[in-house]
Amino acid sequence: MRTEGSTAIVFGGASGLGEATARHLAAEGARVFVADLDADRATTVAEEIDGLPVVADVTDAASVASGLAAATKLGPLRICVNCAGIGTPGRLIGRDGPKPLESFAKVIEVNLLGTINVLRCAAAAMADSDPDEAGERGVCVNTASIAAYEGQVGQIAYAASKGGVVAVTLPAARELAPLGVRVVTIAPGLFDTPMMAGLPEAARESLGGVVPFPARLARPAEYAELVAAVVANPMLNGEVIRLDGALRMAPR
């Protein structure tokens, strides 16, 4: 799938991994829609990359459908990347007993159901378009986490939600294969995102130091580069790619 000249939409595109991806795809010649809950930030990023902002909540069916409808007005949707997610920590048992179920449900709703929501709507939009010369209609890139494999203490909901995203990948790719739509998931390790930016420099260096190589926090641009590689390589389908510098997380 060629990035240049393609229409792309990035959910969670106003910050972190999503922003880096939106910027990278635009630099490669894509027409990028920046979809995010933060309307002001989405507008800022979109203006800087000559893209278009979309206010979207991945947990809301109408919101996602509306954002995708806007994107398809400018041409067939070829690339959809979902970086929207939350990482609220929480143990099973707190000081007052079992943790409220609602706190687990919210993380799973955003990370897993939000991914499925974006995937189903984006795939439907791609299926309605004509294929390119190679028979492809589009590629959907989801975001999991290495917590799907080595969830730490306090990551019950987060690990469950990201494990679900991993599990969705192959059956979705198999279902959409006859339509010429690929599905690939990236499972990032420790990245230098806005969440990390709030930590003291010593803490950031300590976290980066546990990565075997390179011994640092990963850069959002490195996630974006992998997205571009996935888009370009038609044989990447139904796969989950760890992007973690060989890191395997400890229990704590």
Burial class (CB in 10 A: 0-12, 13-18, 19+), 17: buried
* Residue 247 in domain: no
pTM, entire model: 0.95
* Residue 251 in domain: no
The reported pLDDT for the residue numbered 193 is 86
Q: Which residues constitute the domain of residue 82?
A: 7-241
* Residue 134 in domain: yes
Q: How many domains does the chain have?
A: 1
The reported pLDDT for the residue numbered 199 is 64
Q: Which of 244, 234, 243, 245 is nearest to 2 (CA)?
A: 234
* Residue 252 in domain: no
Task: Indicate which residue of 158, 181, 188, 193 is catalytic.
Answer: 158
The reported pLDDT for the residue numbered 198 is 64
* Residue 224 in domain: yes
The reported pLDDT for the residue numbered 205 is 77
* Residue 209 in domain: yes
Say which CATH number the domain at 43 has. 3.40.50.720
* Residue 221 in domain: yes
Q: HSE of 82 in the Cβ direction (CA atoms, 13 Å)?
A: 36
> Does the annotation mark 158 as catalytic?
yes
Within 8 A by CB and 6+ apart from 69, the residues are: 125
* Residue 223 in domain: yes
Q: Over the chain (252 residues), what is each successive 10-residue block's mean pLDDT?
A: 96 97 98 98 98 97 96 94 94 93 96 98 96 96 97 95 98 98 97 76 79 94 98 98 95 88
